[in-house]
Amino acid sequence: MRYVIVSGGVLSGLGKGVTASSLGVLLKSLGLRVTAIKIDPYLNTDAGTMSPFEHGEVFVLDDGGEVDLDLGNYERFLDITLTRDNNLTTGKVYANVIEGERRGDYLGKTVQVIPHITNEIQEWIERVAKIPVDGNGAEPDVCVVELGGTVGDIESAPFVEALRQFQFRVGRENVCFVHVSLVPVLGVVGEQKTKPTQHTVKELRGAGITADFLVCRSEKPLEDATKEKLALFCHVAKDHVFSSYDVPNLYHVPLMLEAQGATRLLCEKFGLDMSRERPLMDQWREMTERVDSLEGEVNIAMVGKYTGLEDSYHSVIKALNHSAFSLGVQMRITWVKAGNLEPDAEHDSPEEHAKAWADLKAADGVLVPGGFGIRGIEGKAIAAQYARENKIPYLGVCLGMQVAVIEFARNVLGMEGANSTEFDEKTAHPVVIFMPEGSTTHMGATMRLGSRTTLLQNSGCTAHRLYGGAMEIDERHRHRYEVNPDMIEALEEAGLKFVGRDPEGQRMEIMELDGHPFYFGTQYHPEFKSRPNRPSPPFLGLVQAAVEHMNA
């Protein structure tokens, strides 16, 4: 097993996840099986209870793990299926060590960060690196490990020390350290400044880790003199300093690193043979060229409450883009804050209200993604009503499906005050209810999570066409509330069809509307399984319908 350890310095958000994923692509192109682990030094057990405003979206895995969004990058770039254990947090490490201490595993010794915490981290990495992730049951050859945060953070210190020890545990020849840093340009002079990278590399070396490669983030390609200076002061060869500059789309990053010799140098580091035939890189180049040559533009209105931070909807954005790529059009996402569609919202202003409506009406399609909490709910229902009444393509994901059902019950069935019991426990028409196995007292991992089977009820529905004729679908879930089975008969008689259900027939998974060009809802989150060359069927359906609406 070889390990590529990706750390970061200066500041967070530089693209360690994309760098790690891209290095994985290069290694996979050699015919190696690649897996990935994300280390998050926070104390949370997982990302499940964290606000999207603070940490971006919560990515859901097949096994129900609620994890960091970088695992989504790994899955999309490498086309693999990871597990909850591929996301390692301080909370998980300490929980395991404390449980071991209570069992008496440490034979009366004083339990300390070194060696007990650092040993637990190393054992976790070795164990998880061997888990098959590509569907054929074979053990991976390479594990890419990303250390979240920045070197020097107090909370990451035990992980840095564990990784320092790890290189001797598995053999220095089997470990490659890649450090991602920032090379800024200050003022009008335009000089690329190396001092921030010098400092972070010095800190990394002070912790006992010597970087094999530097990946330097900058707006423009690194100048030759900048590379020479970095090599001189950071104890790396000049050709081991990679420039990672701003590109039109992220799919350029593996090709950018490949062009600078990264694959060849990784082979030299690990003693691997450089393959002559690498069809994966050819496919990657074709995809990148296709993305760069998109024509036209389709406009999707994204109606949500976390519109101030795009990372809150990271996988949704990716799924929309994948769909647009396959259709050869540019994706334009118009962010519409749900609350601004409401006529009498207290936080609203007339200008924001008017702009939100103008944006909604200008869109070729409407998407209401998942979410939690009452804020913006009425605005989402208004968006669903507008799309339904005006024959605008609509996709509702999880909560987006639920608000569409609520709106339909109110305005088509005449059920005044119809609602979800999440927002109104005393509603006379509870069209969305709390699911039986949920919890109202504990928030973490108490939802219906992970991959579940949906059975289509007939072969004439839109879902059957979108999923390529499949009658059985596996998609990932993350919800506590669901459509009330007692209301289904009345809703279906009025034209809202629940064409996909769970194997017991009690849980409504897919909703379609008779007589509408595309009005589609899913209780599951199809965005989590979308891939650049294999877009999510519901998202592809929305974008295709939006293109047709635009051209009508």
| Alpha carbon distance 442, 417 (integer Å) | 29
- Beta strand 448-456 pairing with 472-479: antiparallel
- Beta strand 365-368 pairing with 394-397: parallel
Q: Is 525 a catalytic residue?
A: yes
Say what the pTM is. Answer: 0.93
Q: Is 461 a catalytic residue?
A: no
| Alpha carbon distance 517, 499 (integer Å) | 16
Among 342, 398, 429, 516, the active-site one is 398
Closest among 337, 308, 376, 422 to 51, alpha carbons compared: 308
Q: What is the pLDDT along the chain (552 residues), one digit of tens a residue?
A: 999 999 999 888 889 999 999 999 999 999 999 999 999 999 999 888 888 777 788 999 999 999 999 999 999 999 999 999 999 999 999 999 999 999 999 988 999 999 999 999 999 999 999 999 998 999 999 999 999 999 999 999 999 999 999 999 999 999 999 999 999 998 777 899 999 999 999 999 999 999 999 999 999 999 999 999 999 999 999 999 999 999 988 999 999 999 999 999 999 999 999 878 899 999 999 999 999 999 999 999 999 887 667 788 999 999 999 999 999 999 999 999 999 998 876 655 788 899 999 999 999 999 999 988 888 899 999 999 999 999 999 999 999 999 999 999 999 999 999 999 999 999 999 999 997 654 444 444 467 899 999 999 999 999 999 999 999 999 999 999 999 999 999 999 999 999 999 999 889 999 999 999 999 999 999 999 999 999 999 999 999 999 999 998
Instruction: Quickly list DSSP for 288-352.
Output: HHHHHT--SEEEEEEEES-TT-GGGGHHHHHHHHHHHHHHT-EEEEEEEEGGGGSTT-TT--HHH
Dihedral angle over CA of 282, 283, 286, 288, nearest 10: -110
**19 to each of 11, 27, 50, 178, 256, how far by Cα in Å?**
15, 12, 24, 9, 11
Task: Find the angle CA(381)-CA(297)-CA(295) to the nearest 5 degrees.
Answer: 155
Structure tokens at 205: 């070396």
| Alpha carbon distance 170, 155 (integer Å) | 24
Q: Is 75 a catalytic residue?
A: no
- Beta strand 496-501 pairing with 508-513: antiparallel
